[in-house]
Structure formats: structure tokens, C-alpha cells
Structure 1
Amino acid sequence: MSRITDPQTFARECRAHEVVVMLYLVRFRSVLAVLAALLLSAPVAAQTRPATGTVAGRVVLAADGSAVHGATVIVVGARRETTTDTSGAFSIENVPAGTYEVIAQRQHLSAGRQSVTVTDGGRASLEFALTLETLHENIAVTASASGTSTTFDAFSAITSLDSLELAQRRGASIAESLAGEPGVAVRSFGPGNARPIIRGFDGDRVLIMQDGVRTGDLSSQSGDHGTTIDPAAVERLEVVKGPATLLYGSNAIGGVVNVISPQDLFRASPFEGVNGGVSVDTASNTGQAGGAGNVQVGKGPWMAWAGGGARRTGDYASPLGTVRNSATEMQNGRFGVGWTGRRAFASVGGQLERSRFGVPFANVFHSHDHGDEADDHDHDHDEADHAAEAFDVDLLAHRREVRVDAGLRQLDTAFIDNVKATFAGVGYRHDELEITDGVEELATRFENDTQSLRVELEQKRTGRLTGRIGVDWFGRDYRSAGEEALSPRTKQQSFSGFAYEELGFGRFRVQFGGRVEANRFRPGERPESDDHDHDHGAEEADDHDHDEHEPPPVRDRNFTAASGSVGLHTDIGTTGAFVVNVTSASRVPAIEELYNFGPHVGNLAYEIGNPDLTVERTTGLDVSLRRRAARVSGEINAFVYGIRDFVYLDFTGEIVDNLREIEYQQGDARFIGAEASTQIELGGHAHLEASISSVRATLTATDEALPRIPPVSGRVRLEIPWKGLAITPEVVLAASQTRLFRDETATDGYALLNLGASYFVVRGHATHQITLTGRNLTNTEYRNHTSFLKDFAPEMGRSVKLTYSVRFF
């Protein structure tokens, strides 16, 4: 069995990795060159000075009239926002003349929208009195043509969760924190190795970003790889459901998860004072313990930020017993400094992450005949635990990021409002460790160095038109060595240009845009094949051997992907909206789909890539009906996507190295589904929340279901407030899933009972929150259909979690 054990090689690679990260800063010169070119091409201010005015006022607590510090004030549709100072005052200058709605909120402290008319040289005054509300505006910055907006005003279907909501449902990963949201499911190989599924789309079709930048990890590549971002360090989570390729490229064909960090609001917006937060939590089932903190300091045009945290969990307990080697741990730190002038801004920051996740039952595929197990689908914990005593597999990951933002703001030009450029360099490495009798050996190392440059021009509203245009460059150097080095070292580059425009006609708004993206893959030589006859019983596998199979050829590939969309957003009275979008989106094949060859325990398969794959093309229709009112709010979303040349894993019927042999193939597919959610105010300020999601995904040629598609699911939640306390009983429901792909395992339906209690202490300069949550209180045995472990162990049993968080301003 091939291993990487040479300490000198290990040290050289670590030093080389450090050098690569430092060299990322050099690439920022290209950002400055692009900005200079844009400045030279911009109209001269004196020629056509736009008409602008000022929106100013104060934000207070409705209960006692005290000032609210740190509230976000947004002029919707004008790309203007700020935060209140220590006296609760705010002033937003250079607002283009026109009529707007203005929102003020600080997490769940909110007030109704106010309308304001801005005149040239004028000053409009507003005052907001905030109260603690369950029903409030949800802010969103992802997938908007006109700047920060709300989920109600967006063209896409977007879920947005703020830090208070995340504290009530905090899990070991962002995927677990999003579980149960309409249209979102969780793909997992244990608690740490989890990733969101959006409307049935998984892997390379769902893009994970942090503050609008790709995370650079390998969670899309394998079922046992997960996202390594600590949910306790998150200010807000935004999920864009449906194709978002127009703005973010072909990897966003199924949707986007954007993780917003506390400092993101201030990259181009100055503030005075100190903002920050601290959070700690613990849980009974896994022995979870974690904490995180962050601080942002603003003084004049300067800002600095820092933050970090750590989290660990032990093995989780299911109703059938403890699931061995499911423990997790993660540590992270970030830092940065920024400057914001009257017309320009710049910032530089970095972050470090380290995580370690166990891979439960990974040893089973080395020591048993997987074909027998696949047929049996009924594994006893004692047998599995006995097998696990042979050896364990852990994933040890490191992620390092350097990020530079620079740009021009609120320009006095006829066409350009803001210019933003972001360069990010991410160095990601994870090691797959095999542990025998406490001795660790490095079996496989994966490295993924990425660099990205994005330049955007945000347009001023000229008459009815606004929007943004931009260019993206992305470079990737992927390499692996060891037992599961399935692909050759591959360098990928993409370049794209996009335009995303919006026309306003009173209560009607029309969105349209397009993107063209060129990708190229340059693979190296395929690594020499290992014999894969592991020391843990693989020699007893059946007679099939991978040497019977020739690996697919390795050759360069070039792809061009084009995407376009048009949408209509119609206001229905003052409380409703109807939205329809038609999209044409493209996705280029991923490295693993083109070049993989060999045993891949993370996907429970012996994979054979296909270098002849073509571009995947989707034609989609999304329809949304929304209501936003004092007593009843909600939305209904329906979608249908027809996908030509959909890439999927096709079973050949053979067993190789104790794993089912699969080949990457293409065929037409169809996804049809819907989500619905509502929030209703009952008597005594109690609120009822309910949601339901459904998706049906089919290979149209054979009418077969695609694998690991979530069943119909939903939840019903009641919030009963009393002074600063909120009691929240909840029932989570899932139907059985019997639409299966080939020999996939069916899963039964289930109902889970949860109960939460949160106590809030709200002051003008701080918000305290204590949350006690009981999950699966009846200790129900259930299986997650989208989990790779559903054949081996049920999900987590009864658990009680305690969280305390404070935000100070």
C-alpha cells in the first residue's frame, strides 16, 4: 500500500505551500491595473454630475427610546447603507435622487419599512423605533443586481439566516445549521463531513462561498469531504436556490451558499467604535464544546478586525449505540485591516482553518465484501464496531486564505456608481490518515491551490436601468498523492464576463443578463496505479481486479459555457409579489468527472472518469408567489429544470476492490419541485411557522430516479413569547423515499420532536441570547436518505444543547 511517510518531503511541501500563499499578494498588481483602466474610461464628473441627496435620522428602541448602536440602515435599490453610531444616528450621503424604501434593523430588532423621496441637494429625515420581532425583513446581498436588498425583493428564491437564528440551530457544520430550511437537505458521511444539497443538487453543482469568494476546499469532490467553516463564526448564511451561474459561474448551476462574516459589511463602509461578539455552546449527545469571538474596530477612515474560535465533538450516539470515529474538531482565526476614504477603499485580510473529522465505517470497505453489504443493508452496530477496531480513517484539513479588496465608491459619474475588485488566494490541503492501534500513517494527500480575481462595475440608475457588469478569472492547481490519488495533477483556468441588469417600471421590475465562461483543463501524467490490495482484508475480495480495466486517457480539454436569464418581479398591492424567471445555464465537467480512476471510499465506489464529457446545459423555469404582511407572511416556489447531458454515476454491475464500479456518463434529466413556507401571527403574539419541500429528479430516457434525492420533508414550529423568553416546540417530518436509483436503499419516513427556549436581553449597545434546545427528544431511530451512512447507522439520537451569545456595539 502506497503511503507518504518521508519527513523531508513533507517539510519541503509545507514550505512550498507557504511560499505559494505569500505569492498570492503579488497577483494584486493585476487588480490595480484593471482599476486604472476603468478610471481612465470613466466619464468625467464635471460633465454630468448626477443629482443626489442625503438620507439621515436616528434609530431607537421602541420600549424606552434609548439609542440603538450598530443597526444596519439600507436604502433599498440605491446601493447605499450604513450603521448607526453610539447615539443611534445615521447619515447616508450621495443617494441618487428618487423615491425609495428604507429599512433599519439589528438582527431581530426591526421596524416597518419607511418610504422616502430624495431630491437633488436635499436632506430627508427618518426615525425608526425597533422592537424584537419574530417576523422581520431578511437581508440578502447574494444574487442582486442593485446591491443589498431583502429576500422579498430578490428575483431569486433566497433563504437568509442571521446570527440569532443560527445560535438557535447551531450544528457542527454550516450544512447541519441549514438542515430543515425549505429546499435544503444535507449530504453527509458523519457529522463533520457534511455539505448542503439544494433542490436535489449536490457536489460540483452547488457553490459554497465566503463573503462572495469560493472557499477553495474539496467538499464538492467526495461524500466524505465537508465544509470546514465554523457556524459560530458566521454573521449570516444566505442560500440562493436555483441557477446562479449568471453571477458566479458554472459551479452555481444548482444554487449558492454564501457565508457572510461579521467584517464583510465594513469592507467599503466606514464606522466609528467597536463592534463584536462572543458565543459559547455545549451539547450532551456528542460532548460538543465550542466558542468563537470577533471584534471590529473603526477609527476615522481606518478599520481593523480579528476573530477566531474552536469546536470539538466526540462520537455521536444514535438510538442503536455510539457511532465510532464520528468525532470532529476545528480551529480558525482571521484578521485584517482596511481603509475607506470618500471615494476609494482598500482592505487586506487573511484567515487560517484547521479541522479534523473522523470517517465512520471507512474500514468496512477494506475488510468486507461491499457487494454483500449493499444487498443486506442491515448492519449491526456490534459487528461494525468490531470491524472498526482494526483501523480508523481521519481527514485532517488546513485552509489558508489571503484576500485583498479595493475599489472606488459613490463616484460622481453618469454611469459608474462603484467599482469593486477582489483578489483571493486559497491554499487548501487535507490528509487522509489511517490509524492502526493509535499509530497514524498518511495514506493520501490532496492539495488544491486556487486564485480568483473578480472586478465589478456597479451602474448608477439611469432612468429605469441599473445593474452590474464584470469579469472573473479563476485559476486552480489540484494535485494528490497516495492510495486514493485518483486524478492526475491538473491545472484549471477559467475566464468569464457577465452583465446583470434590471429595469424598473413602477411596480414591475425586469431582470436580464448573460455570462460567457471559457474553461481549460491541463492534466499532467496519471499517477502510477497502486495495487489497492489493502492490508485489511481486501485480498479476500472477489476475483474482480482493477488491473482488468484500462484507465481513461488523460488529455487536455477546453470548454465554453454560456448562461442567460430573464425575470419579472411584480408587486401585488403593498404586501405581495409574483416573480417568474426563465434561465439557460451551463456547467462544465469537474476534474473528478473527467479524470478519476480507482477506489474512492468517500463515494462508496470504484470510479472511472470520462474525458469525453461535454457541457451540461439546463433550461429552467422558477415561479414564486410571496406575501409580506404584519400577521401573515410566506412564499410558494415552484421550479422545473430540463438538463441536457446531465453527468451522473452509472453502476456497471461489477465489484472492484470491495466497491461497486461506476462510470461517469451523461443523459438528459428533469428536476421538478416546490417549496412553501409561512409565518402566521396568532393571539398573544405567538407565531406559527410551517414549511414543506419536494423535488423529483429523473433520468428522462429510462424514467429512473437519480440517486440520493431528498424525500418530501417539512416542519411545523410554534413560537410562544413571554417577556424576553421564547418557547419553541417543533416537529420535523420526512416522508419515505422509495424512488430509487438501481440498488439504492429505501428509507422510511419519520417525525422528530424538538423543543427550544431562548431568552433575550436587548440593550441599545448589546444583545444577549441564551438558548436551550432539545433535539430528537423521543430518541427516534431514523435514516437520512442523502447520507452515505444510511446503510450502516441511524442519525443522532436525543441531544440537549446550551448556547450563550452576546453581540456588542
Structure 2
Amino acid sequence: MITRRLPAVLAASVLAPIVLQSAQAQQPADTRVLTEIIVTADPIGGRTADELIQPVSVLHGDELARRLAGSIGEILDGLPGVANADFGPGVGRPTVRGQQGSRVVVLDDGLPVADVSGEGVDHAVAIDARGAEQIEIFRGPMTLLYGSGAAGGVVNVRSSRFLPDFAPSSFARLDASYSPNGDDRQVDLQFEHALDEAFGLRGALGLRRSNDFSIKGFQEEDQTEGRRGRLQNSNLSSDTASLTGMFRQDWGHIGLGASRWRTDYGIPEVFDPQRLRGDGSDDFERITADYERIDLRAEILDPLPGFTTLRLKSAWTRFEQQESEFKFNRADGSFREAIVEAEFQNDEFDTRIDLVHAPIAGWQGVLGLQFSDRDFFADDPRGADRGFYVRPNRTRTSALYLVEELRTGFGRLEFGGRIERTASRADDVIGSRVEGVTQEDGSFLPLPEQLDRRRDTPLSLSAGSIIDLDEAHHLRVALTRAQRMPSGEQLYAFGRHAAAGTWEVGNPELDRETYTNFELGIDRHLGRLRYDFTVFYNRADDYIFLASEDDGTGNPVFVNDIGNRAGEGAAADCAPGAGGLCRLRNQLVTNQQADAEFYGAELAGSFQLVEGPVPLTLHVSGDLVRGKLRDGGNLPRITPARAGVGLATRLEGIDMRVDFQRVDRQSRIGEAESTTDGFNLLSLDLAWQLPGTGTDTTLYLRGRNLLDEDGRRHQSFFKDDAPIIGRAFYLGFRTQLGGR
């Protein structure tokens, strides 16, 4: 019943601003404005979210503190147009308007997080957002500013590491929490110390430890026997550390920092000793990753005649990851024989220079240069008969971009352009590695040992306007043409990805994608009623998507560890000791290309029902995205429609908020994809700032999935194997010593 009513709920959410505005007209004028929060990912600088044409959400202060969680996807889940494509608690990748992976660029203080999260659905994003000061989410193509990979959107995680100003005195800030669900322990510590007026240090430490998490019911979608209530192999650990030095003078400032992120997490998989294969063992997949990074930031005032500011951002990164198989011995009940099945390494250098020029005939803008050099390696170290997952490759990208803004009597105009030069070269592969991988479909073979170098010049253009309808309302219109180059995984994959449970086939002949995106939005930013409503249409030519093949019964095709299907020497049941060469345990997926389109709507709004010492605020939200092929059919893993409502108040120093969200059923599915039932999410947040302690200390309690729903996220590749975690409570505190 609730599912059938969801379109009506969305319609009501859309109409709510109009109805509430009518009521607002009968009340005294309220001239309160939104807190001015500068969007740091905007290269022009100094502009708030309200002044940007692109749809952007900003998490800051109490709202960010309320949402902080173990992964960036979990933090952002539920924001308009943004969802979590998780693969168990260890992996939480943001999905923006139905697009994820390499199409959504995650930035660490303005530069890409140079990991391999875009090269596999089971790979975590190498960033700990619990220490963030602000998170900025741009929805829609951002290729003009951040390269062809940002065709779906951008998430910028801004810390305090490179802020030029220091607190009046040294301080330390601690945030710690505990949840009985999974014995989940999280700690984040930050400190700052100014050595003198010109130089200071900032540091941060973070950790997370957990056991397996609790869920509602069985782990697998169609499971009817075995263990209930536990997400097996979902335990995890992670550690982060950073140290940054900042030097400032009248001419500007410069900062140098080093950071490290390490993690070890399991890929949820059902394990039942009664269902072990003939050799008496089963296996679990685990991933360990290590991310090291050095960052340089500088800002110079009045660097050249005609230019007001020069900003330099550079980062050197090394990322390493191993995926291992742990076998279970039924005789003694132990796990043993950790076999490394895949190794990844990514060495990357990224830099960008922004030159903000002085106004010219009223136009204010920025000229930018960007360069990236990426050396990617992936291999299965077990031997030639196992093939490889993604062929090692190197990609170099250089770009020139320009963004200009003109303030007019009716609002603002903005134009921009970017030209990019990309060259990539895949390593040669020895013949034995090629011959060890076979496919029934002859179009997959012969796989050439050598591939030609790829060169291309994608171009992005944008134009938009903000129209001031009155002092409280803006109308935003934007048109963007963006081009995106295929990722390394889409071009060069050919082999088993064990931890993801897939056997993936890329295509070195894929063309670049071209997007034509139109946005229309209206927002109200004054008074008791606030809202932001956006509709969009995105036409994607030559869109690349990961498709499953139908086996003729509506189910996906599965192959063995070297790509054989049933009838090619592979069988569903193994003889003792046969191992993975006869087990059909890998879903066959191919990177295909076709014309597609995305369209949808997003709403976020609030209305202050009661003012005074005990205020009461109503929050509403909703989003809808549709992704389909223009020749017919649906794209896979598109986020279902969602609608939410919440109430927030404050009583005697205690902040309280209750939120309810309905996630609709997704029945518009791609080939060999299954439907996903809808579910409800109820959450609770309490925060109490302790009075009279002499410190800034807050106790908080968070409740998540209070209805203990067995929810499955349709945008997750393996939703049928890993539901959302069950009812969870988090008890924690935040405190700050010094800094005043």
C-alpha cells in the first residue's frame, strides 16, 4: 500500500513549498537568511551554495555531525539525489542521480582520492570523512572543473588541514562512539598547535573496529535455512593518520601534509558448514588496502598583474590493495590458507592551478590548468591459467579550463569551457595469460597481446543563469555539454574479480561518452519556509554500463574461475579437490555501450512550525531518477524513488530529531536483473551539550533502522547477498579542549 502511494507522496513533497508559501504570505515578513557557508570546491572562490548555478548540497556543523558514519556513502545516503551503493559496511560508495563508480569523483580537499574504488564494486573509497569540517556534493556533470571522470557528480570532503588561520590557542578535539550492533567502535582525534603567528601544525588520528554486524532475517534474498540475524564476514578495521604544517604571510600561505589510510574488511558471504562443497572447505574473501598521500597547498595574493589570486593544489599518492581467499577447514573449524587472488597498485600525481583574474567589464572568473599522471597495476599472482582482472595501464591527462561569471540586474550569468587531452597505454600481456582465459562467445577472443595507445580530446561547455525572482527566490537554469573517457576497468578488464564475485569483460574499442544535461531549479532561501527543487534531463550518447547476460530464464550467466560456462568443462557441483575451475560462482558481466537518458527531480525543504524556546521544524525530502536506454529497456542498478519527512526540536539544551524515509520498490530493471522490494527507514538523533563543564562537550545518541527492516539497496551490485544492517544504536561524545 505504501509503495503504491509513493508517487502521491513525491507529488505532495513537490507541492509542499507552494502550499506552505501561500500560508507564509499571511504571516509577518521574516528576513532571516541562511548561514553563509563558502563552497571551497568552487574555483572562483568566495561563493556560497546559494550563489552557485550547479545543484549543490553542503553538510556543515551540526548537520554534518549528525550524519557522520563509517563510510562516505553512508554519510551522504538520503540527501536529494545521493544514495549509498554499499557492499557491506566496509564499502560505501556514493551514487549520484543513478551513477556511481568512476563517474562520481570523490575529492580530498579539492583533489581526487586516487584509489581504485572506481575499478570495482567491492572497493572502498580511501577517505575517512569522520574528521571532515565540511562535505560538498555537486549533482550532475562537473567535467568542466574536475575532468571527464566527473560526469555524474563530485563529492568534496574538506578538512581543516589546510586552513590558513589558527585558533587563538592550541586545542584537541575528540569524537568517540560505540554501537552494540557489530561491537562497532569509532574514534576520531584532531589537534592544532600554532608555534608562532606564522607557522602551525595540525594532526589527526582515527580508528574503527567491528565484529560481524546484525541483520534482520537471512542474509541472502532467497535463503530459507541456515543462520539468521548475522551479516557474515562483515567485520572490519580501519586506521587513519595525518600531519600538516601551515605557513602564512601577508603574501598568502603554503601548507604541506602527509596522510595514511589503512583498512581490512570482509566481503559479506553466507557460510553454512552443512552446505560445504565436497573437499570439506569453503572460503571467505577479504580485502586489505594501504593508502599513502602527500599534499601541497598554496595560495598567493596578487601573483601577476590582472590576477588577484593563484591557488596551487598538488598530491602524490600510492595505493595498494590485496584481495585474499581464506579457506575453512571443516575438520577443526578454522580458517586457513590465505591465498592472494588479486593485487592492485595505483601511483598517481595530481595537480591543478587556478588563476582568479580581476574583474574585466564586470566579468569575474578563473583560468585553470590541471594535470594527472596515473600508473595502474592489477594482477592475479597465482599463474597464467587464472588470467587477469584489469590489464595494467598508464593514463596521462592535461586540461585547460575557464569559468566566467557576470552579475547583472536580474541575477547572474555564467559560462565555462574545458579542453582536455588524454592519453592511455595498456601494458602488453604475454600469450599464456591470454590463452588461459576462454569464453564461449567468440567475440571476446582473440584478446590481443598488444593494444594501441589511446588518445582523445574531450571537450566540455556550460552556460547557466541565476534569476532573482524576488529577495527570497532564485530560478536556476543550466545547460552543460560534457564528454567522458572510458575508465581503465571499462577498457581493459578481462578476467575474474574474486572479491566482487564477477568475471568482467572490458572493451578497448569503447568510444567516449557525450552528455547533454539540462537543469531547472527554484529555491527559497529566506524566512521560515526554505526549499530547493530541481528537475533535470541528461541525454547520454554512447553511455557505458556494466551489463549481466541473461541465461534464458531471466537469471544472470555464471562462469567458473577461468571464464568457462556450463558445458565447457564447468559444472555446478565439484568433485573433491576440484576447486574453483568447475564451480560456476562468478557472474559474467560485460562493458556495453548504447545511447541512454536520465531524468528526474529532487526536493529538500524545511518549515519552522513553532518558534521560541522550544522550536519545531518540519523537514521534507524526495528524489526520483529514471535511467533507460533510448532504444528501449532499462539501465541496471538505478536508485529507486525515495521520500522522507522529519521533525526537529530543541528542549533544555537537548537537540532532538526524528526522520522517516520510504525507499520505493524498484521494478524498472535491466537485463538479468531482479526487482528489489521497498523498505522504510526510521532514525533518531539526540544531542546534549553539557553545561558548566568548562569544555565544549556533547553527548549524543543515534538510532538507525529502528524498524529493523530487511532492506536491500537496488543500486548495490550484490544486493541479494548483503542487506542493510539491522537496528543499531550509537552512543558517543564530542569534546574540545582549548582553542579559545
Smaller-chain TM-score range?
0.7 to 0.9
Q: Partner of 1:694 in structure 2?
A: 624
Cross-structure match for 1:125: none
Say if 2:419 and 2:458, in contact at 8 Å, map to a contact too: yes
Q: Does 1:432 align with 2:323?
A: yes
Distance 1:612 1:729 in 2: 51
| Paired letter, 1:779 | D
Q: Does 1:307 align with 2:200?
A: no
The separation in 2 between residues aligned to 1:651 and 1:581, in whole angstroms, is 35
SS at the partner of 1:593?
A: helix
What is the aligned partner in structure 1 of residue 721 from structure 2?
792
Change (3 A) 1:771 1:347: same
Amino acid at match of 2:268: P
Q: Which residue of 2 aligns with 1:417?
A: 308
The residue aligned with 1:250 is 148
* Structure 2 residue 651 is matched with structure 1 residue 727: no
Whether 1:478 aligns to 2:368 is no
Cα distance change on mapping 1:527 and 1:191 into 2, 3 Å: farther
The aligned residue for residue 171 of structure 1 is: 69
Partner in structure 1 of residue 601 of structure 2: 674
Q: Which amino acid aligns with 1:736?
A: R
**Quick one: which amino acid aligns to residue 359 of structure 2?**
R
1:58-101 per-position Cα deviation (integer Å, ceiling 9, x unaligned): xxxxxxxxxxxxxxxxxxxxxxxxxxxxxxxxxxxxxxxxxxxx
Structure 2 partner of 1:752: 681
Q: Which amino acid aligns with 1:790?
A: K
Q: 1:140 aligns to what?
A: 39
- What does 1:167-206 correspond to in 2, within 5 Å? 167-206=65-104
- CA displacement at 1:609 relative to structure 2: 1.3
Residues in 1 aligned to 2:146 and 2:372: alpha-carbon distance in whole angstroms: 11
Q: 2-side partners of 1:757 and 1:788: how far apart?
A: 34
| Structure 1 position 283, deviation (Å) | 1.0
SS of residue matched to 1:774 = strand
Call closer, same or farther: CA 1:651–1:775 in 2, change over 3 Å.
Answer: closer
Q: Shift in Å at residue 494 of structure 1? A: 0.5
Listed one character per residue, the Cα deviations across residues 706-746 of structure 1 (whole Å, up to 9, x for unaligned) are 11001001221101211211221211211100000012110
Question: Structure 1 residues 511, 166: CA separation in 2 closer, same or farther (over 3 Å shift)?
Answer: same
Check 1:545–1:674 CA distance in 2 against 1; reply closer, same or farther (3 A cut).
closer
Correspondence for 1:516 among 419, 426, 433: 419
Aligned runs of 1:637-786 on 2, under 5 Å?
637-653=534-550, 654-657=557-560, 658=584, 659-683=586-610, 684-701=614-631, 703-761=632-690, 767-786=696-715
Counterpart-to-counterpart distance in 1, 2:439 and 2:94: 37
Amino acid at match of 2:296: V
Match of 1:565 in 2: 462
Match of 1:62 in 2: none
Q: Is the 8 A contact 2:548 2:673 kept in 1?
A: no
Amino acid at match of 1:770: L
614, 626, 634: which is aligned to 2:523?
A: 626
| 8 Å CA contact 2:173, 2:190 repeated in 1 | yes
1:176-575 matches, within 5 Å, as 176-266=74-164, 269=165, 272-298=168-194, 299-320=196-217, 321-361=229-269, 390-410=282-302, 415-436=306-327, 437-482=335-380, 485-526=388-429, 549-551=445-447, 554-575=451-472
Evaluate the alpha carbon distance shift between residue 145 and residue 259 of structure 1 in structure 2; reply closer, same or farther with a 3 A threshold.
Answer: closer
Task: Work out whether residues 145 and 466 of structure 1, in 8 Å CA contact, stay in contact via their aligned partners in 2.
Answer: no
Q: CA deviation at 1:239?
A: 0.6
Cα deviation for residue 543 of structure 1 reads 10
Quote how far apart the aligned CAs of 1:139 are. Answer: 3.9
Flag the 1:501–1:543 CA change in 2: closer, same or farther, 3 A.
Answer: closer
Q: Offset at 1:167?
A: 2.8
Structure 1 CA distance for aligned equivalents of residues 436 and 178 of structure 2? 42
Report deviation, 1:566. 0.5
In 2, distance between residues paired with 1:586 and 1:191? 33
CA RMSD of aligned residues (A): 2.8
More displaced stretch, 288-297 vs 705-714:
288-297
2:595 partner letter? D
Structure 2: distance between partners of 1:197 and 1:582: 22
Offset of 1:479 from its aligned partner?
0.7
Distance, in Å, in 1 between the alignment partners of 2:252 and 2:173 is: 28
The structure-2 alpha-carbon separation of the partners of 1:400 and 1:763, relative to structure 1 and needing over 3 Å to count, comes to: farther
SS across alignment from 1:237: strand
Instruction: Work out the percentage of aligned pairs sharing the same amino acid.
Output: 27
- Tell me the amino acid that sits aligned with residue 40 of structure 2: V
Q: Which residue of 1 aligns with 2:8?
A: none
Q: Which structure 2 residues correspond to residues 53-132 of structure 1 after superposition, within 5 A?
A: none
Range that drifts further, 691-700 or 341-350: 341-350
How far apart in 2 are the matches of 1:656 and 1:572? 59
Q: Which whole-Å CA distance do the structure 2 matches of 1:505 and 1:250 have between them? A: 31
Give the direction of change, closer, same or farther, for the CA distance of 1:234–1:145 in structure 2 (3 Å limit).
closer
Letter in 1 for 2:301: R
Q: Distance in 1 between matches of 2:402 and 2:341?
A: 45
Instruction: For 2:277 and 2:43, locate their aligned partners in 1 and report how far apart those are by CA, in whole Å.
Output: 53
Inter-partner Cα distance in structure 1 for 2:442 and 2:275: 28
Mapped contact 2:687–2:698 kept (Cα < 8 A): yes
Provide the secondary structure at the position in 1 that maps to 2:716: coil
Distance change in 2, residues 1:181/1:341 (3 Å): same
Aligned counterparts of 1:138 and 1:705: Cα–Cα separation in 2: 39
Tell me the distance in 2 between the aligned counterparts of 1:309 and 1:170.
13
8 Å contact kept, 1:184–1:197? yes
Distance change >3 Å, CA 802–CA 626, structure 1 → 2: same
Judged with a 3 Å threshold, the aligned counterparts in structure 2 of structure 1 residues 527 and 763 are, in CA distance, closer, same or farther, namely farther
**Amino acid of the residue matched to residue 393 of structure 1?**
E
| Corresponding residue number in structure 2 for 1:801 | 730
- Partner of 2:457: helix, strand, or coil? strand
2:625 corresponds to which letter in structure 1? Answer: V
Q: Contact between 2:704 and 2:729, CA under 8 Å: does it hold in 1? A: yes
Displacement after TM superposition at 1:323 (Å): 1.2
Specify the code of the residue in structure 2 equivalent to 1:487. Answer: V
Does the CA contact (< 8 Å) of 2:88 and 2:722 recur in 1? no
> Unpaired runs of 5+ in structure 1?
1-110, 114-134, 365-379, 535-541
Contact preservation (8 Å) 2:425, 2:451: no
Alpha-carbon distance, 1:492 to partner: 0.7
Picking from 491, 497, 506, the partner of 1:600 is 497
TM-score (norm 1): 0.76
Equivalent residue of 1:788, what SS?
Answer: coil
Change (3 A) 1:161 1:532: farther
Between the aligned partners of 2:503 and 2:144, the Cα distance in structure 1 is 34
Counterpart of 1:636? 533
Encode CA deviations 1:183-227: one digit per residue, 9 max, x unaligned: 001112111122000011111111011000111011111110011
Per-residue deviation, 1:382: 8.1
AA of the residue aligned to 1:579: R
Query: CA 1:602 to 1:589, structure 2 compared with 1: closer, same or farther past 3 Å?
Result: farther
Asked if the contact 1:632/1:678 (under 8 Å) is kept, the reply is yes
SS at match of 2:674: coil
Distance apart, 1:353 and its partner CA: 1.0
1:227-275 CA-partner distances (Å, limit 9, x unpaired): 1322322111111101111111001111001111122332xx5664335
Paired letter, 2:312: A
Match of 2:482 among 563, 568, 585: 585
CA distance in 2, matches of 1:331, 1:753: 30
SS of 1:704's equivalent? coil
